[in-house]
Amino acid sequence: MDALIIIITMLCCIVTSLYCGVVLSLRLPEVWAFLDRKPFSCRPCLTFHLTWMLFGIFAFTRQSWTLAGIGIVVAFIVFFILKYIDNKKIIK
């Protein structure tokens, strides 16, 4: 049961960071010109930072260094997947 809770929470962290990364990378530069730079305007960069921060909060509440390490690895995996997807987009 404990493993199921950890897996569901990890998936929620990933989905939340993906959604917030997509929305905030477009909206933050409109709010304040200072935020029109990386990592705020770069979707993979912002998602990476949101992912490791959410996993860090989760690991802190669970008091587990292992979950923190897993969170950083997952954040890098998500970053490279998003970077690959963004590089494949054709902009006309």
Is 92 among the domain residues? no
Range of the domain at 50: 2-12+35-87
Report the chain's mean pLDDT, rounded to a whole number.
91
Q: Which residue in the block uniquely carries the two structure tokens 């902009």?
A: 91
Whether the predicted model's global pTM rises above the 0.85 cut: yes
Is 78 among the domain residues? yes
* Residue 32: pLDDT band with limits 50, 70, 90: confident
Query: To the nearest whole percent, how much of the chain has pLDDT over 70?
Result: 98
Q: What is the pLDDT of residues 40-71, one digit of tens each?
A: 888 999 999 999 999 999 999 999 999 999 99
Is 39 among the domain residues? yes
Q: Is the peptide bond before 39 cis (omega within 30 degrees of 0)?
A: yes
Is 29 among the domain residues? no
Is 49 among the domain residues? yes
pLDDT at 92: 66
